[in-house]
Amino acid sequence: MCDIPSPAVPTGDQNRHLFCQMAIEIPLQEIIEAAVKAGWDETEVLAAIIDVADNLVLAAGANAEVDALLKALKRKLE
């Protein structure tokens, strides 16, 4: 597993997203290099990373919606 530094700024800081990008850039480049060495084309690796990230965002949103529905249902049952 790779080392990713902890956030250098608090939640809500306007530069936090940039710091997160910098924190994951080198480990992500290492994953890309490893995939290319394994025989994947760099373009397809990058496209796959985008698709996986998109799927994770969609899943997180769906999970948040399910959590909200479960909380609402629980309140109605109380």
pLDDT digits (tens, 9 = 90+) for 21-66: 999 999 999 999 999 999 999 999 999 999 999 999 888 888 778 8
Residue 63: what pLDDT? 79
Q: Which domain holds residue 25?
A: 16-77
Residue 1: what pLDDT? 62
Q: pTM for the complete prediction?
A: 0.74
Residue 62: what pLDDT? 80
Closest residue by Cα to residue 46 from 64, 28, 59, 60: 28
Q: Is residue 54 a part of any domain in this protein?
A: yes
Instruction: Write the DSSP assignment of 19-51 as a string of letters.
Output: HHHHHHHHHHHHHHHHHHHTT--HHHHHHHHHH
* CB atoms inside a 10 Å sphere around CB 16: 14
Q: Is residue 5 a part of any domain in this protein?
A: no
Q: Is residue 73 a part of any domain in this protein?
A: yes
CB distance 49 to 28 below 8 Å = yes
Domain count, the chain: 1
Among 7-11, 17-21, 30-34, 73-77, name the one with the lowest average pLDDT. 73-77
Q: At what angle do helices 42-77 and 16-37 cross, to 10 degrees?
A: 130
Q: Is residue 3 a part of any domain in this protein?
A: no
